[in-house]
Chains A and B, each alone.
Chain A
Amino acid sequence: MNKNDRHAFVSQLVVYALVMISFTGSIGLGTVWLRNQIARTANSIRILETRTAEVERHLAETTTLIAAEQSPDVLIRRNAEWRLGLVAPDFRTQIVRISENPVDRMAAKRSREVFARGATVLPVKFVLGDIH
């Protein structure tokens, strides 16, 4: 091998080595970037999970508060405090139970009203005689 050939070979080797280093470095950097992205995504997911858990915690606390406010004791106290005056109807005097069918009853009532009104608006006149 002459000197020029040897130089060319070494130079080629150096170029290949540099290309390989660049290639490997790119892969390495790509991997690092990818892992960084994975880490960031995983971290975002973790933050979202934490946030979801936090919302669920608040939801549970609110549910507890609402349930406590719906307790019969509290409702009765609120009724008095806010002077709402809500009382249960007295079933002896304030509740009238209808044993018959209310639809029939209302239809009959309506019919009576219609016939009664018809009698005043459209009186029937009978005139005797005067027939041609």
Chain B
Amino acid sequence: MSKGFASNYRIVVLAVGIFLCFGGVGVRLLFLHVIDRDQLVRYIDKARRQVTEERARRGDILDSRGNVLATSHTLVVVGVDPLVLRKEDESKWPELASLLELPLAELKKVFQTKTRPSQAEDDTSEEMHDIRWAKLSENVTEKAYEKITALGVKGVYGERTYRRAYPHNQLAAHVIGFVNKGGTPAAGIESFADFYLRGQDGWRESEKDGRQREMAQFRTREVPATDGFSVGLSIDSAIQHIVEKELDAIAKKFQPVKATIIVSDPNTGFILALANYPTFNLNEFNKADMAAQRNIAVADMYEPGSTFKIVASSGALNEGLVSPESPRFDCSLDKIDYLGKTRGLPREDHHFAVPLNTAEIISRSSNRGAAQLAMLMGDVRFYNYARAFGFGQLSGFPVGGEVDGQMAPPSKWDGLTITRMPMGQSIAATPIQMHMAMGVIASGGLLMRPQIIREVRDAKGERVYHFDGVARSRAITERTAETMAYLLSLAAAVGGTGAEAAIPNYQVAGKTGTTQKLVPVIDSKGHSVLRYSDREHVASFVGFFPASRPKIAISVIVDGADAHAPNGIAYGGTVAAPSFKRIGEQLIQYLDIKPVADASRSLLVMGGNKR
């Protein structure tokens, strides 16, 4: 190396300079990484660290054909910081108001209110506080928000939030239920199947820059959100629509207090439609009163009346105590001896001059005949059959706050109960209980569990769970069920009480019910007591078709329609049975239900090849 490369002095200065620089950097690093480390890390954690929640999308609720009944979509909550508004943006305010669907005056009021008094309870000073955020609208769609953003009004910004949408409005409202604005499922399938629907929120830990933007390279931990599963119901939108239109028609014509219609597949117990009047719009649940939100079909009880006669007649037939033709019962008697005591028999709507056999007791709906059938069985056996038909216990319907009805055990019966209960008094049942009890006959003797959820699918559409029909127990033999179906088809034919339900060329089986309501009256001692009213009735028709090969069971129950019913009494045969027929006729088209060839022959040989 040449001597002239560098002088000693220069080399030393350069070396010292370099080492001083390195030393300085080293010292600074020592302070940053060792001495002040804890303090700086705390500061950074506070200033830069952020945990972002990633919201899972709530699953959809679908009908049996895949139509969306409930879904989640984003809406934007748009607000303003009035303190940063610019004068030059004022010309854009009218367009902004129009996009927000707000009156311009209201928008201006929000924009020009820049302070507010303290809202803290303990703050008594009159000091005004700056408003840094005022809500303008909470239902802005994505499209509208895009246009709002494009307007570029400084200080106006939005926050996205998932909202539940019910595209069919009031359709199946009592079954679907709703999620309230706080995101809590409040009723129906939304609440019952929340575990499947809600999904699992995710989160992400990362850092943000000075402008509050995430610095994605500093993501440390990340748990992705798992979207909720979709729940497929057995409800069919088209059938539900038919039923709700029929309820509308009933409401217009009879102006009842309440009404309910249930349609199901009796062979599986799956509910195809369930509707109540009054009802409500799921998208405006906050405007609906509590009465409209009540699922009458499962939460309200009524005395089932004559429809309950299927229990006494089925039981007597099943026990082999009677056949459809014999013996005959004198239904003109006012009193009868039972277990050594004379019991008063209930009133009849018609006088039966000649004794009736079991077939006639059903088709002509004799109260005294039903009472004598039950007496033939005895208290305990009759009670056991009522239990076997599902009365006095929960049916297992998952939504709506089901009640189990009221049916006292024989030990608590008074002397008249055995004469009144067979005609559907002294017992309270829910519409769904009565519907499933009729389903026992339609399904060949099995008491099915009413089900509403068919399947659960994950976010990718793969089926996770699938549900089949579930039989709770066998109530009567298949042979008895077939015989009862035949006898009930006579009740819904010309000459029967349910003739209005008959559909030409189709075998309809069913039973009318006209129940006197218990109303409070003041007795002679001034006490309020419950008495059966002659003016207020619950009209019902519960049946199925085709009788020999049941495909559909329909229950129509109308409460308090007397004021607008013919002759001022709401009979099951005139108020409910025609609705059964109209719904049945539409279902024949929609579900392509074929008539059973040669009705008379197939009814006689039903035992051979049913279903």
Interface residues of A (CB under 8 A from B): 4, 7-8, 10-14, 17, 21, 35, 38-39, 41-43, 45-46, 56-58, 60-61, 63-64, 66-68, 70-73, 88-89, 91-92, 95, 97, 99
Interface size band for B? 35 or more
Q: Which residues of B are in contact with A by a Cβ distance under 8 Å?
A: 1, 3, 5-6, 8, 11, 14-15, 18, 57, 67-68, 71-74, 141-143, 160, 165, 167-169, 171, 214-217, 219, 237-238, 241, 504-505, 585-586, 588-590, 594-595, 597
Q: Which residue of B lies closest to A68 (CB)?
A: B167
Say yes or no: B11 contacts A63, CB within 8 Å. no
What's the least CB distance linking A14 to chain B, in Å? 6
Instruction: List the 9 closest pairs (A to B, CB-CB), nearest first.
Output: A42-B216, A67-B167, A72-B241, A67-B68, A68-B167, A42-B217, A46-B216, A60-B73, A39-B217
What residues on A are CB-neighbors of B585 within 8 Å? 91
Structural contact, A45 and B241, CB atoms closer than 8 A: no
- The distance from the CB of B266 to the nearest CB of chain A, in whole angstroms, is 21
Residues of A within 8 A of B68 (CB): 63-64, 66-67
Asked if B74 and A57 make an inter-chain contact with CB atoms under 8 angstroms apart, the answer reads: yes
What residues of A have a CB within 8 angstroms of the CB of B597 in the complex? 99
Q: Is the CB of B216 within 8 A of A72?
A: no
* B241 with A7: CB separation less than 8 A: no
Contact present for B71 and A64 (CB under 8 Å) = yes
Bound-complex Cα distance A24 to B106 (A): 64
Residues of A within 8 A of B586 (CB): 88
Q: Which residues of A contact B219 (CB under 8 A)?
A: 42
Residue in B3, B167, B237, B504 whose CB lies within 8 Å of A92: B504
In the assembly, what is the distance between CA of A39 and CA of B218, in Å? Answer: 8
Residues of B within 8 A of A88 (CB): 586, 589-590
* B589 in contact with A4 (CB, 8 Å): no
**Is B1's CB under 8 angstroms from A57's CB?**
no
Q: Most chain-B CB neighbours within 10 Å: which of A35, A38, A67?
A: A67
A-B contact list, 11 entries, CB within 8 Å: A11-B11, A17-B18, A35-B217, A41-B217, A46-B216, A61-B141, A61-B142, A67-B168, A73-B171, A88-B589, A91-B589
For B3, B73, B586, which residue has the most chain A Cβ atoms within 10 angstroms?
Answer: B73
CB neighbours (8 Å) of B8 from chain A are 7, 10
* Cα of A50 to Cα of B589 in the assembled complex, Å: 48
Indicate whether A70 sits within 8 Å of B241 (C-beta atoms), given known contacts A57-B160, A60-B57, A92-B504. no
Q: Known contacts A63-B73, A64-B165, A71-B169; is A11 also within 8 Å of B5 by CB?
A: yes
User: What is the CB-to-nearest-CB distance from B149 to chain A, in angstroms, rounded to a whole number?
Assistant: 12
Report yes or no: B167 in contact with A11, Cβ–Cβ below 8 A. no
Task: Choose among A7, A43, A63, A64 the residue that contacts B3 (Cβ–Cβ < 8 A).
Answer: A7
Give chain B residues whose Cβ lies under 8 Å from the Cβ of A99.
Answer: 597
Q: Is the CB of A64 within 8 A of B73?
A: yes
Q: How far is the CA of A72 from the CA of B141 in the complex (A)?
A: 24
Q: How far is the CA of A70 from the CA of B57 in the complex (A)?
A: 22
Q: Are A7 and B74 also in contact (CB < 8 A) when A71-B169, A97-B594 are?
A: no
User: Contact between B216 and A43 (Cβ–Cβ < 8 Å)?
Assistant: yes
CA distance A14 to B160 in the complex (A): 61
**Are A60 and B504 in contact (CB-based, < 8 A)?**
no
From residue A25, how far is it (CB to closest CB) to chain B in Å? 12
| Distance (whole angstroms) from the CB of B103 to the closest CB of chain A | 26
Which residues of A lie under 8 Å from residue B74 when comparing CB positions? 57, 60-61
Q: How distant is B582 from chain A, measured CB to nearest CB, in Å?
A: 13
Q: Are A58 and B142 in contact (CB under 8 A)?
A: yes
| B167 engages A64 (CB within 8 Å) | yes
- Name the residue on B nearest A43 (C-beta): B216
Quick check: A57 and B142 within 8 Å, CB to CB? yes
Q: How far is the CA of A23 from the CA of B50 in the complex (A)?
A: 36
Q: How far is the CA of A35 from the CA of B218 in the complex (A)?
A: 10
Q: Which residue on chain A has the smallest CB distance to residue B5?
A: A11
Q: Is the CB–CB distance between A14 and B71 below 8 Å?
A: no
- Contact yes or no, A38 B217, CB < 8 A: yes
Q: Do residues A7 and B1 form an inter-chain contact, with CB atoms below 8 A?
A: yes
Known interface pairs A57-B160, A97-B594; 6 further A-B residue pairs with C-beta atoms within 8 A, sorted by A's residue number: A46-B216, A60-B73, A61-B74, A73-B169, A92-B504, A97-B595
Contact A91 B216 (CB under 8 A): no
CB pair B171 A71 closer than 8 Å: yes
CB distance from A58 to the nearest CB of B (A): 6
- Report Cα–Cα, A8/B167, bound state, in Å: 88
How far, in angstroms, from A11 to B6 measured CA to CA in the complex?
8
Report the separation of the CA atoms of residues A39 and B216 in the bound assembly, to the nearest whole angstrom.
7
Decide if A67 touches B71 in the complex (CB within 8 Å). Answer: yes
Q: Of A61, A95, A97, which is in contact with the most chain B CB atoms at under 10 Å from its CB?
A: A61
Closest Cβ–Cβ distance, residue B204 to chain A (whole Å): 10
- The residue that B71 contacts in the complex, of A13, A60, A70, with Cβ under 8 A, is A60
What residues of chain B lie closer than 8 Å to A95, measured between beta carbons? 589
Closest to B160 in A: A57
Q: In whole Å, how far is B17's beta carbon from the nearest beta carbon of chain A?
A: 11
- CB nearest to B69 among chain A residues: A67
